[in-house]
Amino acid sequence: MSVKVDYYETLGVAKTCDDKTLKAAFRKLAMQYHPDKNPGDAVAEAKFKEIGEAYEVLKDPQKRSAYDRYGHSAFQNGGGGGGFRGDFSSSMADIFDDIFGEMMGGRGQGRRQGGSSGRERGSDLRYNMEISLEEAYLGKTAEISVPTTIQCDVCNGSGAKAGTAPRACPTCGGVGRVRAAQGFFSIERTCPTCQGRGEIIADPCGKCGGEGRLPEERNLSVNIPAGIEDGTRIRLAGEGEAGLRGGPAGDLYIFLSVKPHEFFQRDGADLFCKVPISMTTAALGGSFEVTTLDGAKTRVKVPEGTQFGKQFRVKGKGMPVLRSTQMGDLFIQISIETPQSLSRRQRELLQEFEEISSSENSPQSTGFFSRMKEFFEGLSD
């Protein structure tokens, strides 16, 4: 068993703090470390669980006083997987529904339904999808195939054999929890007969073995909107795994990544493209043609005397702005290629060009080194 951090420390509150302070501290930390805000971050996820566990204990006056007296050992001697810990995942879901219910929309409701009786909410699923920049530009409908579970069609998710129904658990009377005296206080724990479900299935359904769901490969169409960004997560509510014994389904999360493009770099809705032009085009002027992501060709005019690093903006030829009719711009960044592998004739022409050049032809480089020298000599005086 790993060493556990003090619950008060986890939430950053004093031992004497009141319920209001406790709740505020929890809410703040839970928001900060919520997996939805930290996708794929295992450290944040672990922290999030710790916070939930600490709050779960401290918000309950009975558990809090047990914790104050006995520390973590108050919750570790349940034996047989019982004690508070057994309840933990379901009650944690309740806490988060409390806090995040409004924020998460339908998800909170689903959890609450699943919290009672033998039904359990199905797991959320993650699907990684990679698309090209062209696909992000146009948007698309992606057909995906997800290994998941669906509700059993024989028992309609109840898990009970046709003609029978689950019946209330005789040990806990359908509550799913039993109370047991321990020391000075009584502890509520998961019912050992029904494992907290509150129901017992005497004759399980032959097809699903009492689970109420079956594994299946599901085909789904996912709408990828034009302008979607790398790292976006799309949530498909209720498209995750079917719930256990008729509980609500989980959600499906699509984690989207956009492949790097050979010619275009993206920054938000703007695109950047590096275009090398010849030294003579840069000096004499000219034009070139680029193909943009919509497949159209755009001619870019190069003025006489264009310098390295010059940037041209082509309006409206960037990426679409998500859920709007606006478009970003395309920025063309010029680099100038110095000619290589010169023939004798080319060399002669360039040498002749050099001989008849004046300082007006190259104002930046003319006198650069003498100016630099003067500058530093001036400093040392």
Tell the residue number behind the tokens 């909170």, with chain if given. 108
Q: Is 30 in the site for Zn ion (CB under 5 A)?
A: no
198 vs 318 by CB, closer to Zn ion = 198
The distance of closest approach from Cβ of residue 96 to Zn ion in the complex, given in angstroms and rounded to an integer, is 25
152 vs 254 by CB, closer to Zn ion = 152
Q: Where are the alpha helices (DSSP H) in the chain?
A: 7-11, 19-33, 42-58, 61-70, 83-104, 106-115, 133-138, 279-284, 344-355, 368-380
Cα 137 from Cα 213, distance rounded (Å): 39
The distance of closest approach from Cβ of residue 207 to Zn ion in the complex, given in angstroms and rounded to an integer, is 5
Query: 21: Cβ–Cβ under 8 A, 6 or more apart, which residues?
Result: 13
Q: Which 207-236 residues touch Zn ion, going by CB under 5 A?
A: 207-208
Binding Zn ion by CB under 5 A: which of 164, 193, 232, 366?
193
171 vs 232 by CB, closer to Zn ion = 171
Q: Is 177 in the site for Zn ion (CB under 5 A)?
A: no
For residue 94, CA distances in Å to 55, 110, 175, 323 come to: 12, 11, 16, 34
Q: Is 82 exposed, middle or buried (0-12, 13-18, 19+ CB in 10 A)?
A: middle
**Encoded tokens for 124:** 């959320």
Which residues share a beta bridge with 269?
Answer: none
The 130-169 site mask, x for binding Zn ion (CB under 5 A), equals ----------------------x-xx-------------x
Q: Is 254 in the site for Zn ion (CB under 5 A)?
A: no
As a dihedral over the C-alpha atoms of residue 301, residue 306, residue 307, residue 309, rounded to 10 degrees, the angle is: -10
Q: Which stretch binds Zn ion (CB under 5 A): 58-66, 182-190, 194-202, 226-234?
A: 194-202
Q: Is 125 in the site for Zn ion (CB under 5 A)?
A: no
Residues in binding contact with Zn ion, number by CB under 5 A: 12
Q: Which stretch binds Zn ion (CB under 5 A): 27-35, 53-61, 115-123, 201-209?
A: 201-209
**Encoded tokens for 16:** 């004497």
Binding site for Zn ion (CB under 5 A): 152, 154-155, 169, 171-172, 191, 193-194, 205, 207-208
